[in-house]
Amino acid sequence: QVQLVQSGAEVKKPGASVKVSCKASGYSFTRYYIHWVRQAPGHGLEWMGRINPNTGGINYAQNFQGRVTMTRDTSISTAYMELSSLRPDDTGVYFCARESYSGNCFDYWGQGNRVTVSS
Amino acid sequence: EIVLTQSPGTLSLSPGERATLSCRAGQSIGSNYLAWYQHKPGQAPRLLIYGASTRATGISDRFSGSGSGTDFTLTISRLEPEDFAVYYCHQQNNSPWTFGQGTRVEI
């Protein structure tokens, strides 16, 4: 069965970086885009960007451009999202999600990574 | 950027009642690119509806989606206790992909 398993919770200081991982199983990793979505406390879902695991091609949301880096390691079917220059308002839960083959929805989601940014 | 506006913000209903959730887009969206998700605290969002009206695998037929262009609706025909959650619409018609702000369905 398809699974996306994310790494554990992180606590970071302002100005630091965080790198979260999303390990895929149960399907061919390189055939489906992986997206990253953030939920800040008391807020809704915010799209951060996506990576094509086959080519490494990336689209970033403008709000995160310059601070976010998405990569992948096809040998271990894992996608990564690194966010730098962290601020307290980057606190939230970060989800990875698989884009469906038809490209019109996110059909599987990781369980989420809680990231806390605090001095 | 396509802005999605959901209404109402909160829907207070009882089990057995019908819930009607609205999602309005700032510009026309191809019906194939509108999805709905259910999100409960501490869990991953769950895909309910894609292509505006197609139920995802394993989703109860109490959930139905409709609409086209700029106006879309998610209907829950008879609320069960497990349906109380936040619901988001989502478009993948144009980058950046966007979500509505959510509708909370509460008891």
Q: Is the pLDDT of residue B30 over 90?
A: no
Report the pLDDT averaged over residues A60-84: 96
Is-contact B11 B105, C-beta < 8 A? yes
For A56-83, b/e burial (b = at least 16 CB within 10 A) is eeebbbeebeebbbbebeeeebbbbbeb
Residues of A within 8 A of B37 (CB-CB) are: 45, 106
Give the per-residue pLDDT at B69.
93
Chain A residues 76-105 within an 8 A CB cutoff of chain B: 95, 97, 99-100, 102-105
- Asked if B95 has any chain A CB less than 8 Å from its own CB, the reply is yes
Separation of alpha carbons A47 and A36, rounded Å = 6
Q: Is the pLDDT of residue A42 over 90?
A: no
Residues of A within 8 A of B51 (CB-CB) are: 102, 104-105
Separation of alpha carbons B25 and B91, rounded Å = 9
Q: Is the pLDDT of residue A29 over 90?
A: yes
Cross-chain Cβ contact A104/B33 below 8 Å: yes
- The mean pLDDT value of chain B amounts to 94
Chain B residues 44-73 within an 8 A CB cutoff of chain A: 44-47, 50-51, 56
β-strand partners of A48: none
Report the pLDDT averaged over residues A80-100: 97
Which of B46, B95, B102 faces A44 most closely, judged by CB atoms? Answer: B102
Which of A6, A33, A45 has the most B C-beta neighbours within 10 Å, making it the best mutation to test the interface with B?
Answer: A45
Give the per-residue pLDDT at B9.
95
Other beta carbons within 10 angstroms of residue A34's beta carbon come to 26
Residue predicted with more confidence, A12 or A42: A12
User: 3-state class of A27 per DSSP?
Assistant: coil
